[in-house]
Homo-oligomer: A and B are copies of this chain.
Amino acid sequence: MSMKQVHVGIVGFGTVGRATADIIAKHGDLISQRSGVRLAVAAVCRRSSIEPGDTPTGARVYSDWKQLLQDPNVDVVVETMGGTGDSLQLVRGALEQGKPVVTANKNLLAGHGDELFSLAMSRKLPIGFEASVAGGIPILRVIHESTAGDRLQSVHGILNGTANYILTQMENRGIEFAEALAEAQKAGFAEADPSFDIDGQDARDKLCILARMAFEGALDVGRIPTYGIRHVRAIDIHSATRLDSTIRLVGSAEQTDTGVEVSVRPWLVNRRSMLAKVEGVNNAVFLVGDKIGTQMFYGRGAGGDATGSAVVSDLIEISRDFAAGQLHAKNIPGFLSSHQLELSETPRPVSWYLRLTVQDQRGIVARVAEVIAREAINIDSLEQEPHLPKDRVSFVITVEAVSEPVIRRAVNVINEFGFMVEPVLLLRIED
């Protein structure tokens, strides 16, 4: 029996693209045994020049993705370029030519998923996108297939490995954010321009995809309130420790009676919480459903091997159908239904952590406490670190559960005080 070969074209030959080619080369026999198809990398494309030794055996090398798209020998297109410029044109072009696509590009799908999944549906073609969220953790497949009989209430988790690595380093070594970031950059865990990771946009794009999958409706990624970890300081980690807690950047989407509550922000999480156990560049995603209860999925959230594995598992599924002449689009209601997810205007009350940095003068605590009391918020704890320079004193307040608009009103008033050196750092406290 001759085995059907499926020819893969990889556009964007960086970490993930290379790892994908490498897995196909190294595990090719295994994949054939399991799936009955043989994957072959027929072409790769990268703007910068590729060393000949780096090229998969037998693959043509293009420097322009448009050429790869025209290559009649490419059966399936893998997009690992990132961004939303060329990648959008590439995915659109591939689908228009009748070629299935596998993409690792969360930014593209969060921004243009509606268009691309509609196009795929009209062409009866699949888009594999497991690699776009949480690297090697098969969370999209789980939501789509394993919870098909359940109604999900929430999805939340640690979705950005760079931010988590920085927070873990700050915690383990007592260093400041800037130092931890510089080290993450040196270790290759953060980009030269790290803003996408540390300011939360990367987590936001992933959360957008997760929320659409979980709650089966459209969600404009720009409407997700997003806060990063840039303003978290060593003193916050220190205060967290005193509160038997640590800090994690969490993306969270929750279905409530008043609509979907969705945000990316740093949380204060208890040491005993599963979220606190997620260290370094790892990711973890929690699903809560009516029937399944709470599930957690943990693993490497980034890196070539993990993300490449997700690309390859999608490639295998698509190639099997391709070889059998049974390519088809999947029904992904979160990107295909006209239903819009409604965001809650009155989020449910949660507890908060506020860190204030002030020029010390008499009466500060009284004035801050008065603002908080005026909003009928109860203070749970208050601590001022001793021995700090007078022109930069930090103190930390935790408050009992109130809705976000209420605490924001208080924070906005506090931020206007002349003694404030910088804005309040506000952390949500995990339930």
* Chain A positions near chain B (C-beta within 8 angstroms): 19, 23-24, 27, 30-31, 33-36, 130, 136-138, 141-142, 145-151, 216, 272, 274, 277, 289-300, 303, 305-306, 308-310, 312-313, 315-317, 331, 333
Residues of B within 8 A of A149 (CB): 23-24, 27, 30-31, 309, 312-313, 315-316
A148-B31 contact, Cβ under 8 Å, with A291-B308, A306-B292, A306-B293: yes
Residues of B within 8 A of A333 (CB): 33-34
A161 to B141, CA, bound (A): 25
- Minimal beta-carbon separation of A373 from chain B (angstroms): 38
Report how many copies the assembly holds. Answer: 2
A189 to B141, CA, bound (A): 31
A297-B300 contact, Cβ under 8 Å, with A23-B149, A31-B149, A289-B309: no
- Minimal beta-carbon separation of A181 from chain B (angstroms): 24
A35 to B380, CA, bound (A): 48
A306 to B288, CA, bound (A): 11
In contact, B309 and A147 (Cβ under 8 angstroms)? yes
Residues of B within 8 A of A312 (CB): 148-150
In contact, A310 and B146 (Cβ under 8 angstroms)? yes
Residues of B within 8 A of A306 (CB): 291-293
Residues of B within 8 A of A130 (CB): 146
In contact, A146 and B297 (Cβ under 8 angstroms)? no
A145-B309 contact, Cβ under 8 Å, with A30-B151, A292-B299, A299-B296: no
Residues of B within 8 A of A299 (CB): 292-296
In contact, B141 and A146 (Cβ under 8 angstroms)? yes
A148-B35 contact, Cβ under 8 Å, with A291-B136, A299-B295: yes
Residues of B within 8 A of A289 (CB): 309
20 A-B contacts (beta carbon < 8 Å) = A19-B291, A24-B149, A27-B150, A30-B149, A34-B148, A34-B333, A141-B142, A141-B145, A141-B146, A145-B313, A146-B313, A148-B312, A148-B316, A149-B312, A149-B313, A291-B309, A292-B300, A292-B305, A292-B306, A297-B298
In contact, B136 and A295 (Cβ under 8 angstroms)? yes
Which B-chain residue is minimally distant from A149 (CB atoms)?
B312
A309-B150 contact, Cβ under 8 Å, with A34-B333, A298-B274, A299-B293: yes
A379 to B304, CA, bound (A): 42
A4 to B128, CA, bound (A): 27
- Minimal beta-carbon separation of A149 from chain B (angstroms): 3
Residues of B within 8 A of A150 (CB): 23, 27, 309, 312
Max chain B Cβ within 10 angstroms of own Cβ: one of A24, A294, A309 = A309
In contact, A138 and B142 (Cβ under 8 angstroms)? yes
Which B-chain residue is minimally distant from A304 (CB atoms)?
B291
A35 to B151, CA, bound (A): 14
A296-B293 contact, Cβ under 8 Å, with A146-B138, A149-B312, A150-B23: no
Residues of B within 8 A of A145 (CB): 138, 141, 313, 317
In contact, A151 and B296 (Cβ under 8 angstroms)? no
List 9 additional A-B contacts (Cβ < 8 Å) besides A145-B317, A274-B277, A296-B297.
A19-B291, A27-B151, A30-B149, A33-B333, A130-B146, A136-B295, A147-B309, A291-B309, A295-B300
Which B-chain residue is minimally distant from A317 (CB atoms)?
B145
Residues of B within 8 A of A296 (CB): 296-299
